[in-house]
Chains A and B, each alone.
Chain A
Amino acid sequence: MRVLLLFCLSVLGLSLHAQSVQGTIVDESGDPIIGATILVVGTANGTVTDLDGNFDLSNVASGETLQFSYTGMQEQRVEVGDERTFSIILKSTLFLDEVVVTALGIKRDERSLGYSVGRVGGDNLNRVAQENVLNGIAGKVSGVQINSTGGAGSSVSMVIRGANSLNGDNQPLFVVDGVPIANTLNNVGQVGRDNRVDFGNAVADLNPDDIESVSILKGPSAAALYGSRAGNGVVLITTKSGQKADGLTVSINSNTVLDNPIRFLDFHTSYATGVRPYTPDNNPYPGGVLLIEEGSAAGIGPKLDQGYSAIQWNSPIGADGHPQLLPLESHPNNIRDFVQTGINSTNNISIANSNDLISYRASYTNLASRGLIPNSDFHKNYLSLSSAVNVNKNFVVSTNVNVGRSHSNNRPAGNRGSNPLEWAYKVSPHIDINDLKDYWVPGQEGIQQRSQAPGDYNNPWFLANEAINSFERDRLYGNVMGEWQITPKLRLMGRYSLDQFSEERETRIAPSYTREANGAYGLINLGRTESNADFLLTYTTDVNDFSVSASAGGNVLNQNGSSVRTATKERGSGLVIPGLFTLANIEPNNLDFSSTEFRKSIYSVYGLVNLAYKDIVYLDLTGRNDWSSTLPAENRSYFYPSASLSLLVNNMMELPSFDTWKIRAGWAQVGNDTDPYSLYPVLGNAGAWDGVTRLTQSGSLLTADLKPEISTSFEVGTDLAMFDDQFRLSATIYSVSNENQILGLALPQSSGFSSKVINAGKVSSRGWEASVGFTPIRRGALEWNLDFNLYRNRTRIDELTEGIDRFQLWRDAKGGAWTYVGEDIGDIYDAELITVTDPSSPYFGYPILDDEGSWQDIDDQDTRNKIGNFNPDFILGGQSSLTYKNITLSFTIDWRKGGQFVSQTYRYSESDLKTQRWLDKLIVYDGAREDLPQWLKDNEDEYITDGINIVGGPGDEFGGQPFDFGVVVNDGVFNPGVIAEYDDQGNITGYIENLGGPETKYIPYAANYPWSFTSASTFDADFLKLRDVSIGYRLPSQVTDRVGISRADISIYSRNVILWTKAGVGIDPENAFQPEGGTQGNGITFKQGIERYNVNPFVLPIGIRLNATF
Chain B
Amino acid sequence: MKLVHKLFGLLLLSSVLFSGCDDLSEINENPNGVEPLNAHPNLLMATVISESAKQVVSLGFGNVAGVMQHTQKDAWFSSHNDYDWGDQSWGGQYSILRNADLMQERAIDLELDFHEGVSMAMKAYMFALITDLWGPAPYLDAVAADEGALDQLLPAFDEQSVIYNGVLNDLEQASALFSAPQQSYDAIVGDADLFYGGDVASWQKFTNSLRLRYLMRISDKDPSKAKAGFESVAALPLILDPADDATMPYVGTTSDDSWPSNVLTDASGSSYRRIKMCATLVDKLQTLNDPRLAVWAQPIDVPLVVDPNAAPGTDEVVDGQRRLAPDVVEGQLVDTDPVYVGIPPSVSAIPSGYNLNPTPGQTSFNPHVSYLNELYTKAADPLLVARVASAAEVRFLLAEAAAKGWSVPGSAEEHYQEGIRASFTSWGLEESVEDYLSQPGVAFDGTVRQIIEQKWIASWTAAAEAWFDYRRTGFPQLEAGPIAKRDVLPVRFYYMQSELNINTSNAQAALDLLEETNFSQADGTNSAWSKPWLLQGTGKPW
Which stretch of A461-469, A508-516, A657-665 is in the interface? A508-516
Across the interface, do B254 and A570 meet the contact criterion of CB distance under 8 Å? yes
A679: contacting residue among B13, B28, B322, B350, CB under 8 A: B28
Across the interface, do B21 and A852 meet the contact criterion of CB distance under 8 Å? no
Q: Known contacts A284-B358, A694-B46, A752-B98: does B255 contact A986 (CB below 8 Å)?
A: no
Chain A: CB-nearest residue to B28: A629
Across the interface, do A682 and B34 meet the contact criterion of CB distance under 8 Å? yes
Across the interface, do A680 and B32 meet the contact criterion of CB distance under 8 Å? no
Report if B378 contacts A (CB, 8 A). Answer: no
Across the interface, do A512 and B267 meet the contact criterion of CB distance under 8 Å? yes
Q: Known contacts A275-B350, A531-B20, A690-B257: does B363 contact A752 (CB below 8 Å)?
A: no
Across the interface, do A535 and B90 meet the contact criterion of CB distance under 8 Å? no
Report if A701 contacts B (CB, 8 A). Answer: yes
Q: Mark A587-618, 1 if CB is under 8 A from B, else 0.
A: 10110000011111101000000000000000
Across the interface, do B30 and A628 meet the contact criterion of CB distance under 8 Å? no
In the complex, how many angstroms separate the beta carbon of B374 from the nearest chain A beta carbon? 16
Which stretch of A120-128, A217-225, A1002-1010, A1062-1070 is in the interface? A1002-1010
Q: Mark A542-582, 1 if CB is under 8 A from B, else 0.
A: 00000000000010101000000000011111000000000
Chain B: CB-nearest residue to A912: B362
In the complex, how many angstroms separate the beta carbon of B286 from the nearest chain A beta carbon? 24
A492: contacting residue among B10, B102, B143, B267, CB under 8 A: B10
Could you say which residues of chain B place their CB within 8 Å of the CB of A677?
28, 30, 32
Q: Known contacts A572-B265, A750-B137: does B17 contact A966 (CB below 8 Å)?
A: no
- Tell me the count of chain A residues lying within 8 A, CB to CB, of chain B: 119
B39: contacting residue among A297, A587, A683, A685, CB under 8 A: A683
Report if B520 contacts A (CB, 8 A). Answer: yes
Across the interface, do B47 and A686 meet the contact criterion of CB distance under 8 Å? yes
A573: contacting residue among B22, B50, B264, B487, CB under 8 A: B264
A533 CA to B21 CA in the complex, in Å? 11
Across the interface, do A751 and B10 meet the contact criterion of CB distance under 8 Å? no
Report if B308 contacts A (CB, 8 A). Answer: no
Report if A985 contacts B (CB, 8 A). Answer: yes
A168 CA to B82 CA in the complex, in Å? 41
Could you say which residues of chain B place their CB within 8 Å of the CB of A686?
47, 51
Across the interface, do B9 and A986 meet the contact criterion of CB distance under 8 Å? no
Report if A964 contacts B (CB, 8 A). Answer: yes
Across the interface, do B359 and A291 meet the contact criterion of CB distance under 8 Å? yes
Q: Known contacts A534-B17, A1004-B350: does B360 contact A293 (CB below 8 Å)?
A: yes
A694 CA to B516 CA in the complex, in Å? 42
Could you say which residues of chain B place their CB within 8 Å of the CB of A288?
315
Report if A455 contacts B (CB, 8 A). Answer: yes
In the complex, how many angstroms separate the beta carbon of A592 from the nearest chain B beta carbon? 8
Report if A748 contacts B (CB, 8 A). Answer: yes
Across the interface, do A862 and B500 meet the contact criterion of CB distance under 8 Å? yes
Across the interface, do A701 and B146 meet the contact criterion of CB distance under 8 Å? yes
Across the interface, do A573 and B353 meet the contact criterion of CB distance under 8 Å? no
In the complex, how many angstroms separate the beta carbon of B329 from the nearest chain A beta carbon? 10
Across the interface, do A297 and B24 meet the contact criterion of CB distance under 8 Å? no
Interface residues on B, range: 35 or more
* A:955-1001 near B, CB below 8 Å: 964-966, 980, 982-986
Report if B247 contacts A (CB, 8 A). Answer: no
A861 CA to B498 CA in the complex, in Å? 7
In the complex, how many angstroms separate the beta carbon of A298 from the nearest chain B beta carbon? 6
Report if B91 contacts A (CB, 8 A). Answer: yes
Report if A753 contacts B (CB, 8 A). Answer: yes
A492 CA to B16 CA in the complex, in Å? 15
A783 CA to B42 CA in the complex, in Å? 79
Q: Known contacts A570-B254, A683-B36: does B16 contact A533 (CB below 8 Å)?
A: yes
* B:77-113 near A, CB below 8 Å: 86-87, 89-91, 94-95, 97-99, 101-102
Could you say which residues of chain B place their CB within 8 Å of the CB of A695?
34, 39, 43-44, 47
Across the interface, do A752 and B267 meet the contact criterion of CB distance under 8 Å? no
Q: Known contacts A556-B17, A571-B265: does B359 contact A749 (CB below 8 Å)?
A: no
A535 CA to B51 CA in the complex, in Å? 55
Q: Known contacts A293-B359, A513-B267, A695-B47: does B32 contact A859 (CB below 8 Å)?
A: no
Q: Mark B505-525, 1 if CB is under 8 A from A, else 0.
A: 000000000001111111000
Across the interface, do B503 and A750 meet the contact criterion of CB distance under 8 Å? yes
Which stretch of B147-155, B164-172, B287-295, B468-476 is in the interface? B147-155
Could you say which residues of chain B place their CB within 8 Å of the CB of A556?
17-18, 20-21
Report if A585 contacts B (CB, 8 A). Answer: no
Across the interface, do A852 and B356 meet the contact criterion of CB distance under 8 Å? no
Across the interface, do B155 and A750 meet the contact criterion of CB distance under 8 Å? yes
Q: Mark A840-866, 1 if CB is under 8 A from B, else 0.
A: 000000001011100010011110000
* B:446-504 near A, CB below 8 Å: 483, 485, 487, 496-503
Could you say which residues of chain B place their CB within 8 Å of the CB of A983?
518
A569: contacting residue among B138, B253, B379, B517, CB under 8 A: B253
A296 CA to B150 CA in the complex, in Å? 50
Report if A630 contacts B (CB, 8 A). Answer: yes
Could you say which residues of chain B place their CB within 8 Å of the CB of A273?
361
Across the interface, do B254 and A571 meet the contact criterion of CB distance under 8 Å? yes
Q: Known contacts A287-B316, A534-B17, A572-B255: does B363 contact A750 (CB below 8 Å)?
A: no
Report if B144 contacts A (CB, 8 A). Answer: yes
Across the interface, do A597 and B264 meet the contact criterion of CB distance under 8 Å? no
Across the interface, do B349 and A852 meet the contact criterion of CB distance under 8 Å? yes
Q: Mark A477-497, 1 if CB is under 8 A from B, else 0.
A: 000000010100000101010
Report if A780 contacts B (CB, 8 A). Answer: no
In the complex, how many angstroms separate the beta carbon of A484 from the nearest chain B beta carbon? 7
In the complex, how many angstroms separate the beta carbon of A532 from the nearest chain B beta carbon? 10
A966 CA to B191 CA in the complex, in Å? 53
Could you say which residues of chain B place their CB within 8 Å of the CB of A985?
516, 518
B485: contacting residue among A589, A850, A862, CB under 8 A: A850
Report if B184 contacts A (CB, 8 A). Answer: no
In the complex, how many angstroms separate the beta carbon of A844 from the nearest chain B beta carbon? 17
Across the interface, do A697 and B98 meet the contact criterion of CB distance under 8 Å? yes
Across the interface, do A297 and B27 meet the contact criterion of CB distance under 8 Å? no
B33: contacting residue among A517, A558, A684, CB under 8 A: A684
A859: contacting residue among B21, B86, B91, B352, CB under 8 A: B86
Across the interface, do A285 and B358 meet the contact criterion of CB distance under 8 Å? yes
Across the interface, do A965 and B350 meet the contact criterion of CB distance under 8 Å? yes
A603 CA to B255 CA in the complex, in Å? 47
Report if A636 contacts B (CB, 8 A). Answer: yes
Report if B429 contacts A (CB, 8 A). Answer: no
Could you say which residues of chain A place their CB within 8 Å of the CB of B502?
746-748, 804
In the complex, how many angstroms separate the beta carbon of B527 from the nearest chain A beta carbon? 8
Across the interface, do A689 and B20 meet the contact criterion of CB distance under 8 Å? no
Interchain residue pairs with CB less than 8 A apart (30): A283-B358, A285-B359, A456-B270, A484-B9, A492-B13, A496-B16, A571-B265, A572-B255, A590-B254, A601-B22, A633-B24, A633-B25, A676-B28, A676-B30, A683-B35, A690-B191, A692-B46, A694-B46, A697-B36, A746-B498, A748-B153, A750-B503, A752-B98, A803-B153, A851-B487, A859-B87, A862-B497, A966-B353, A986-B520, A1006-B350
Q: Shortest 5 CB-CB distances between A and B: which pairs?
A: A682-B33, A517-B267, A296-B361, A752-B143, A571-B255
Known: A297-B361, A494-B13, A748-B502. 14 other contacts (CB 8 A): A274-B361, A287-B317, A293-B363, A573-B265, A601-B27, A628-B24, A680-B35, A681-B35, A692-B194, A756-B153, A852-B349, A861-B501, A980-B522, A985-B518
